[in-house]
Structure 1
């Protein structure tokens, strides 16, 4: 009887383990190697997923996938420092296909830049090798094009720790209309007070007339790095943070979770890509993870949510 009970317990243990195994495929698939990208961004173009992120010392890498699970690294950098302002700290790239061209928004030497290419693989080239906003440090630039076609740039300024601003762009998608510079959010909630003053990595989507901004708070080095949300009914209006932030912090075994971007998959479902620390002891190299996101009604209002269960993309063998 005791033996049967012991075997039942063992079986239940492995069933539970298998149910939780999808969030750590490198542990369950022998030899699997996770995708080591920080500040990740995923673009779906012509039925192929492209991932860009912070990793290379001399530019920006690009990976491709058909299913979001297995990824292959392109042999050449999408952006090389020879084609860009700055010679170090190539961070947080985002790539958008607009009017037949691919635009990469990224940071170099703690200044935000934009480069252009004819292919999602690049080579991306910065036509004029200077920062988008000269005279001050700015990072984490993210493009948002509204329903009426007006382009906006969300980004971080260093004038109150790190805080998030927005400005309208000229039609070239490269030139900031400095007269439109507008503050969005800064450190203001208790969960954001770990260290130092950081609100960064804005990404904006529009749903039923409301703008939803995901952002990250606390130092990326902190295990309490996490993802919050703020909303607005006008881009240059008041942005209000969810009172129950963060939406995602320390899911499962992950720590240092943040710098996210949302995208629609091949089925049209909303997903979110983010990074986390290498493990609970080491920060680097950071790894890319993907979770489902969406909207649900709460007291009659659409609320953005992020599922805590996540997938760990791996490199193709």
Structure 2
């Protein structure tokens, strides 16, 4: 089995990295590309914008800009957590999106610092102009509960990793949450979806579309689904993380909407499969991805985090590699390439100074 795995990994490196290519103009990089976790990258025109938590989730949110997917730019703090309020601490997994000429940052935060993490809720910031570096206006907490007729903070449910999804002209929010607010953060996490009337307003009650029920999602310290990310080709997908983020078993699962004319608000329309990307004896705890194109738009890349060791905890770094599409229209992520192995840079990046 070990020999078969080694052969498969070597074949993947040769195919994806093109290590044997005779072209002298090719350039290479190695993983990891930076420290950190919960990576978010969005490509707009000729630039990549990276977004993440600043100061370990205490200071606020940063944005950086780069022409290269493999070289995140200088981090600039674009929003600082307030001194008080529901979002003063534990800033987690921010994402940067562009709608109708403005930038929006979706994030999770809490009113109290530290463990146990009982107060995480979802929020959104809006840029004052088309500048991704802000300034940003706090649009408040997004409603993640079951009482849309009375969408007050008191009825909102625990929520993290909220991401917007646009399908057939309708905007949706997808996130990880609890069925009910609890007195322990060792509470099972599910994936929920709701309609949005605009980028800062959830306009329907949530609908549960996934729970950790499969054998490859369960059996650890905490059964969870989290970190959902939207991916679309011929079909629509939600790629999400499962198992515990602090353990080496963290991995990716997939929900597929085979017919994109079907409503994503109907749980039965989503087909689960997995794991679609998981660690090896050299790469641990892979999860919470985002997806982007190469500079010339011809390749698809997954950006994800991995643990630096098998020791339980959240000491992680950020990595990326090319993925392909299968004949049935679903993504194939392959095997995570170990640190230090040369990978050909995304197509078009070799031409960038």
TM-score, normalised with respect to structure 2: 0.72
Q: Does 1:275 align with 2:305?
A: yes
Instruction: Measure how far apart 1:103 and its partner are.
Output: 0.7
Instruction: Measure how far apart 1:295 and its partner are.
Output: 1.5
Query: Aligned partners of 2:254, 2:214: CA distance in 1, in Å?
Result: 12
Which structure 2 residue ranges, 5 or more long, are not aligned?
A: 1-13, 20-27, 111-119, 145-152, 180-186, 344-353
Given that 2:142 and 2:200 are in contact with CA atoms closer than 8 Å, whether structure 1 keeps it comes out as no
Alignment RMSD: 2.7
Instruction: Measure how far apart 1:306 and its partner are.
Output: 0.6
Query: Aligned partners of 2:199, 2:311: CA distance in 1, in Å?
Result: 41
Given that 2:99 and 2:199 are in contact with CA atoms closer than 8 Å, whether structure 1 keeps it comes out as no
Query: Aligned partners of 2:211, 2:284: CA distance in 1, in Å?
Result: 22
**Local SS of the residue matching 1:71:** coil
Q: Does 1:200 align with 2:226?
A: yes
**Local SS of the residue matching 2:35:** coil
The superposition leaves residues 23-63 of structure 1 with CA deviations (integer Å, 9 ceiling, x where unpaired) of: 8556xxxxxxx422211110112311111124442211223
Instruction: Measure how far apart 1:121 and its partner are.
Output: 1.8
Give the paired residue count. 278
Q: Which residue of 2 aligns with 1:31?
A: none
Query: Aligned partners of 2:333, 2:211: CA distance in 1, in Å?
Result: 22
**Local SS of the residue matching 2:238:** strand
4+ residue segments displaced more than 4 Å: 22-26, 309-313
The superposition leaves residues 93-121 of structure 1 with CA deviations (integer Å, 9 ceiling, x where unpaired) of: 11111111001111111100010113212
Query: Aligned partners of 1:311, 1:53: CA distance in 2, in Å?
Result: 23
Q: Does 1:49 align with 2:48?
A: yes
After superposition, the Cα gap between the structure-2 partners of 1:311 and 1:66, relative to the gap in structure 1 and judged at 3 Å, is farther
After superposition, the Cα gap between the structure-2 partners of 1:79 and 1:278, relative to the gap in structure 1 and judged at 3 Å, is farther
Query: Aligned partners of 1:38, 1:284: CA distance in 2, in Å?
Result: 8
Instruction: Measure how far apart 1:252 and its partner are.
Output: 6.4
TM-score, normalised with respect to structure 1: 0.79
Query: Aligned partners of 1:78, 1:311: CA distance in 2, in Å?
Result: 33
* 1:1-317 pair list within 5 angstroms: 24-25=30-31, 34-54=33-53, 55-74=56-75, 76-82=76-82, 85-109=86-110, 110-117=120-127, 118=129, 119-127=131-139, 129-133=140-144, 134=153, 135=155, 136-146=157-167, 148-159=168-179, 161-170=188-197, 172-179=198-205, 181-193=206-218, 194-208=220-234, 210-232=235-257, 233=259, 234=262, 235-237=264-266, 238=268, 239-242=270-273, 245-251=274-280, 253-268=282-297, 269-281=299-311, 283-297=313-327, 301-310=328-337
